[in-house]
Structure 1
Amino acid sequence: MSTPAEDDLLLERQLCFALTVASRSVVGIYKPVLERMGLTHPQYLVMLALWERSPRSLKDISDALLHEPATLSPILRRLEEAGLLTRERVPGNERALAVTLTKAGADLREQATAVPGTIMERLGLSREEVADLHAAMTGLIAATRRPAPVLAAQPVHAAQPG
């Protein structure tokens, strides 16, 4: 464990704050681009997973997007209502759900090919810079998934009333 520094609690030094603002800002840049395709950002992520491989099970999509299946259900329902995918129970396993692109969903991929370049241009980043940022974020995600070390109990001092 590193030694605490006096400015460790400054807002601008908080990793969580920088990530929250960056995430909100980047997703905000995607919004008008995706709206032209009739998609929200969460829907775009589901479509990306399906453009990689279709059909896919709900569990497989859930694992790919690091989301709970229950979180994805309303997103899938809206995409199905838009005619971009179908959801069907797997024969012989009524608990499993197969998600398959429709022709319209597969055709939307052509329009989506412009999205990464548009976002890079809007951010003023090269493909290499985006790859570097992605690698750093992927490393950070992996770090959050490692088991936490067992720390020695340290007293917590609660604020005193008054």
Structure 2
Amino acid sequence: CDSGFGHGLARYLDELGFTVFAGVLDEQGSGAEELRRTCSKHLSVLQLNITNTQEIKEAYSKVKEKVQNKGLWAVINNAGVLGLPTDGELIPMTEYKRCMAVNFFGAVEVTKEFLPLLRKSKGRLVNISSMAGELAFPPQGRGCQSYEMQPVVLFVG
């Protein structure tokens, strides 16, 4: 929730009166400071790098302590990074691994850790991603443009 959609969503949910636990990459950063300055006492900023197991466990402990036996209404996984828009064979493996660590494995690990609190309140899990995987970037090589034209399916349930 340092910036972008997550930051805006945290502020919006706070305005609606929800208790919000806003995970940020940098607890002392400008995004975290802005949340503290502009939001109510119902919003808590948590240090949470979703690629760091220890930070996930610490965030879970803090949230569990605050909600006690009530559980959580929702967990919203929103963190994401966009890799280099270039031909796939030119992208270093470290970049592929970074993208997977944030965009996939991080969301899975956060979900697994927080499931007990979601179950207590029959809460919901919301995974937010981007359309970046559906878009064609010209330098990515042949085949992307035809993939881009495929219909998008949205499942809401």
TM range (shorter): under 0.3
Task: Tell me which of the two structures has the higher relative contact order, counting C-alpha pairs closer than 8 angstroms and 6 or more residues apart.
Answer: 2
Structure with higher helix content: 1
- Whose Rg is larger? 1
The TM-score normalised by the length of structure 2 is: 0.26
